[in-house]
Amino acid sequence: MLRCTARLLKLLGPPTLGVGDPSPTDWYANLVWVQGRKCLLVTHAGTLFSVFAPDVRVADLRLLGGFLVPRIADQLRAEGFEEDALGELDAAATTIAKTADRRVLGCMTDQALLCEFTAADSGGLDRLDMVDLHRHLQRNLLSARGYVPAVELVADWRR
């Protein structure tokens, strides 16, 4: 389940929304603006593992699962995990729903600020070192998961 913020749902147009109780296996997606440019931040509800995609276009988002799944898989592999470490990633089976967990949204706000700050500190979004940014995102300490870095939570996810 991909739970999208109202801002992202508005950009996507009126999709058919899935229903279901919130789950730690859900992914949350938020459209964020960094230096006046559309970016996407996606976060796994159970671990807060996050992926940042700069300079997204509306056309990229029309097939949201197809856009996100390869990026999530790439980041999991970059951290030394199998691409299915947080469950099967299937672009064709992506169900879009409304957000349902304020704690995850609060953490995403913190992660978005980290992305914005890191871009500014790097001299702009064009000069942003994406590998370094993702390493920071996966190691950022957030209260919603007991100040345990996302990479540690992913490692323990299936145990």
DSSP line for 86-127: TB---GGG--EEE---HHHHHHHHHHHHHHHHHHHHTTSGGG
| Residue 55 located in a structural domain | yes
Contacts of 59 (CB under 8 A, 6+ apart): none
| Residue 71 located in a structural domain | yes
| Residue 153 located in a structural domain | no
| Residue 59 located in a structural domain | yes
List the strands of the sheet with 2-4, edge to edge: 50-53, 37-44, 27-34, 2-4, 96-98
Please write the tens of the pLDDT for every residue from 76-117: 999 999 999 999 889 888 889 999 999 999 999 999 999 999
| Residue 152 located in a structural domain | no
Q: Which domain holds residue 53?
A: 2-143
| Residue 90 located in a structural domain | yes
Please write the tens of the pLDDT for every residue from 40-64: 999 999 999 999 999 999 988 888 9
| Residue 155 located in a structural domain | no
| Residue 27 located in a structural domain | yes
- Give the Cα separation of 67 and 86 in Å (integer): 18
pLDDT mean across residues, the chain? 93
The Cβ of residue 27 has, within 10 Å, a number of other Cβ atoms equal to 25
Kindly report whether the global pTM for this prediction surpasses the value 0.75. Answer: yes
Q: Are 149 and 78 in contact (CB under 8 A)?
A: no
Count of domains forming the chain = 1
Q: Are 137 and 75 in contact (CB under 8 A)?
A: no
